[in-house]
A and B are shown apart, each in its own frame.
Chain A
């Protein structure tokens, strides 16, 4: 299970958000859907920056250049500021933002569960095609 697992999770969650968009607008209305979508996008950006930061900082050989690390940290601070503004928008309910944000962890959990069920981290077997997909 490498970094590509996280990238696949992010891709899956993006697709889930896109599929949710029309249904959400139809069943819940525009603002609740936008709120959930914003939470989801915020979560995606947060995980992307976290991946970048960990890849730059936690590796054998240490940090080569401080510039990209500082840039990632600045972007993270900007993301948190954006999160604060999202929370203060009157039409956006905080719990709806939270649902969008938590959706990413739901997808992460389901994908990890899928990997455990098909034993994707063990040796290749008859399920190897499924293992590649999950």
Chain B
């Protein structure tokens, strides 16, 4: 298998792995936030803020993977 075929296989696979990782992380974060708000409803604002920052960083990971995909895509054929 040549370099370009390997790259064209690895690129979507890499994005998919990043997306699955982000989905798992985001699911865990939201689940924990809901649990925490259920336990302490008065702290909802603080929990939301922490969750938004966490979610934004997790989301950024997938976006980085996608952008790397676009950058590396230029090297195929």
The answer to whether A and B assemble together is: yes
The 7 closest A-B pairs by CB, nearest first: A60-B41, A94-B70, A2-B45, A94-B67, A98-B67, A87-B70, A54-B52
Q: Which of B34, B41, B53, B66 contacts A108 (CB 8 A)?
A: B53
Given A46-B56, A50-B59, A60-B37, answer yes or no on A95-B71 (Cβ-Cβ < 8 Å): yes
Which of chain B's residues has its CB closest to A87's CB?
A: B70
A55 to B63, CA, bound (A): 22
* Inter-chain residue pair count (beta carbon < 8 A): 63
Closest to B53 in A: A108
| B57 touching A3, Cβ below 8 Å | no
Q: How far is the CB of B15 from chain A (nearest CB, A)?
A: 13
**Are B48 and A59 touching (Cβ within 8 A)?**
yes
Verify if A34 is at the interface (C-beta below 8 Å from B): no
Is B46 interfacial (CB 8 A cutoff)?
yes
Closest to B41 in A: A60
Q: Which residues of A contact B (CB under 8 A)?
A: 1-3, 5-6, 46-47, 50-51, 54-55, 58-60, 83, 87, 94-95, 97-98, 101-102, 105, 108
Identify A1's interface contact among B46, B56, B70, B71, CB under 8 A: B46
Determine if A1 and B63 form an interchain contact, defined as CB atoms under 8 angstroms apart: no
* Cα of A102 to Cα of B77 in the assembled complex, Å: 29
Instruction: Quote the shortest CB–CB distance from A110 to chain B (angstroms).
Output: 13
Smallest Cβ distance from B17 to chain A, in angstroms? 19
B5 at the interface (CB under 8 A from A): no
The complex places the Cα of A83 from the Cα of B66 at a distance, in Å, of 11
> Could you tell me the distance between the alpha carbons of A3 and B46 in the complex, rounded to whole angstroms?
7
B36-54 vs A, Cβ < 8 Å mask (1 yes, 0 no): 0110010011111111110
Taking a contact as CB atoms under 8 Å apart, the answer to whether A105 and B70 are in contact is: no
B60 touches A101 (CB 8 A): yes
Question: In whole angstroms, what is the CA distance A2 to B50 when docked?
Answer: 9
Distance of A64 from chain B, by nearest CB (Å): 14
